[in-house]
């Protein structure tokens, strides 16, 4: 029995999206073409692989088994292609990955650890960049991948997919002034002393852009360059802080309160650089590691 690698990629995309339509979109296929490929795959396997319903699809037990082995096969294929390509690829041409401060806190480092360990022949150049600059660089074809914030990346014409929630919350010392509160507006937060990121940081500039010119005057007791330091200061009771929820260690003793302003609800997107033809296999592999890291 022979399986087509593109059919396996399509099947994995469908399983991950829970929809044949969404899976087809990720593979740049029409819905009829994707449906025909799935039927052919089921015919070849001799068993149903998907349970189809009005709200989408889910894998059968056989489909779950196929998906698990397909991931292993495709990962091995990328390693093979990468190993062979290393003999022709210039050592001065690493993959280029851009991301904002929120992505650089946990998501990108986690993905890099697993990717660089699995692909010793591939180098990655990583730079912190605000979403508007990241989008411009990707549009110019000067980067392979970027992790961007959804509301600043709309309408740019790049291929993008959602990585995960990146909503903002307010944090403070456990048992402190946030105790018993479930949600606050930014104006209410600004009534208290804060600790924040440096004025040039992507997150600080993003918040100030969205609160607008009539934002309340904020007293920052101090500003720092690193989210880890910022969270430690808030945990110590120095002041409240506005941070992405995904940046918080669940085991850390903190009071966490929703930020109820509509602009605090945001998502991280994975954006692909403009290119002619298919993405390099190594870029596809790095994208998969970013997806896996976002689900941890």
Residue 150 confidence (pLDDT): 86
Structural contact between residues 243 and 232, judged by C-beta atoms closer than 8 angstroms: no
Task: Map out the domains of the chain with their CATH numbers.
Answer: 5-85 (1.10.10.10), 95-164+267-294 (3.40.190.10), 168-264 (3.40.190.10)
Residue 88 confidence (pLDDT): 55
Residues 6+ apart with CB under 8 A from 72: none
Residues 6+ apart with CB under 8 A from 265: 167
Structural contact between residues 110 and 293, judged by C-beta atoms closer than 8 angstroms: yes
Whole-model pTM over 0.95: no
Structural contact between residues 111 and 286, judged by C-beta atoms closer than 8 angstroms: yes
DSSP helix, strand, coil percent of the chain (3-state; round to 5): 45, 20, 35
Residue 87 confidence (pLDDT): 54
Q: Would you mind telling me the total number of residues written for the chain in this entry?
A: 296
pLDDT of the chain, 296 residues: tens digit per residue: 678 888 888 999 999 889 999 888 888 889 999 999 999 998 888 899 999 988 899 999 999 999 999 888 888 887 776 666 655 554 547 899 999 888 888 899 999 999 999 998 899 999 988 888 999 999 988 999 999 988 777 777 888 899 989 999 999 999 999 999 999 999 999 999 999 999 888 888 888 888 877 778 889 999 998 899 999 999 999 999 999 998 898 888 999 999 999 999 999 999 999 876 667 888 999 999 999 998 86
- The interaxial angle of helices 31-45 and 5-17, nearest 10 deg, is 110
Residue 224 dihedral angles phi and psi, to the nearest 5°: -135, 170
């Amino acid at each position: 029995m022979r399986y087509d690698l593109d059919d396996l990629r399509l099947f994995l995309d469908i399983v991950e999206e829970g929809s044949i339509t969404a899976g087809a979109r990720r593979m740049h296929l029409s819905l009829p073409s994707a449906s025909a490929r799935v039927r052919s795959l089921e015919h070849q396997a001799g068993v149903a692989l998907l349970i189809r319903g009005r709200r989408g699809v889910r894998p059968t037990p056989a489909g779950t088994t196929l998906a698990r082995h397909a991931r292993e096969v495709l990962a091995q294929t990328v390693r093979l292609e990468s190993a062979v390509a290393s003999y022709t690829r210039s050592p001065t041409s690493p993959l280029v990955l851009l991301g904002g401060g929120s992505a650089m806190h946990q998501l990108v480092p986690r993905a890099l650890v697993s990717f660089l360990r699995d692909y010793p022949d591939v180098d990655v150049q990583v730079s912190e960049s605000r979403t508007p600059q990241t989008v411009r660089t990707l549009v110019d074809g000067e980067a392979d991948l970027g992790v961007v914030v959804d509301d600043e990346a709309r309408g740019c014409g790049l291929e993008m997919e959602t990585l995960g929630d990146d909503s903002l919350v307010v944090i403070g010392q456990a048992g402190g002034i946030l105790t018993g509160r479930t949600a606050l507006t930014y104006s209410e937060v600004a009534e208290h002393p804060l600790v924040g990121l440096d004025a040039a940081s992507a997150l600080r500039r993003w918040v100030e852009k969205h609160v607008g010119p009539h934002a309340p005057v904020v007293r920052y007791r101090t500003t720092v360059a690193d989210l880890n330091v910022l969270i430690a200061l808030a945990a110590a009771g120095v002041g409240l802080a506005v941070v992405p929820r995904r940046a918080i260690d669940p085991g850390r003793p903190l009071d966490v309160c929703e930020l109820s302003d509509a602009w605090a609800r945001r998502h991280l997107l994975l954006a692909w650089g403009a290119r002619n033809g298919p993405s390099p296999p190594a870029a596809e592999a790095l994208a998969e590691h970013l997806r896996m890291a976002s689900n941890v």
